[in-house]
């Protein structure tokens, strides 16, 4: 099996993308579509009891769901475009974190389940 650890390359091959939504139904819909379209190998949903932010000149707080999207770095431009098009928020969160290292079999699984 080919080793996919990011620790041996200059540019990480894998990353974790983050976005939040306010409804469970949207979180599930986006997650299932991302996996079906192979933009993500896996999406984990994490309920957040409160997000605090400033929007349109007002301090706000809402319950949200955080989507942890496991994917390949090369797919980020497509993934970002997809999220911005399908997300219900006027200004969706979209952040990425490089995966510097990980279990090589799991990284292989991400590669095999994305395109």
- pLDDT tier for residue 11 given thresholds of 50, 70 and 90: confident
Domains and CATH numbers, the chain: 6-112 (3.30.70.120)
d(CA 102, CA 27): 26
Q: How far does the chain reach from its first CA to its final CA, in angstroms?
A: 19
pLDDT tens digits, one per residue of 24-66: 999 999 999 999 999 999 999 999 999 999 999 999 999 999 9
CA distance 60 to 43: 27
Taking the mean position of all CA atoms in its chain, how far away is CA 5?
Answer: 19
Identify the DSSP state of 57. T
Structure tokens at 106: 């799991």
């Amino acid at each position: 099996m080919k080793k996919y650890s990011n620790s041996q390359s200059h540019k990480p091959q894998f990353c974790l993308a983050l976005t939040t939504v306010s409804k469970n139904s949207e979180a599930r819909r986006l997650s299932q579509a991302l996996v079906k379209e192979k933009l993500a190998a896996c999406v984990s949903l994490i309920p957040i009891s409160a997000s605090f932010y400033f929007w349109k000149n007002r301090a706000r707080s809402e319950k949200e769901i955080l989507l942890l999207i496991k994917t390949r770095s090369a797919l980020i431009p497509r993934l970002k475009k997809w999220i911005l098009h399908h997300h219900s928020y006027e200004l969706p969160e979209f952040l990425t974190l490089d995966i510097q290292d990980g279990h090589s079999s799991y990284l292989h699984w991400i590669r095999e389940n994305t395109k």
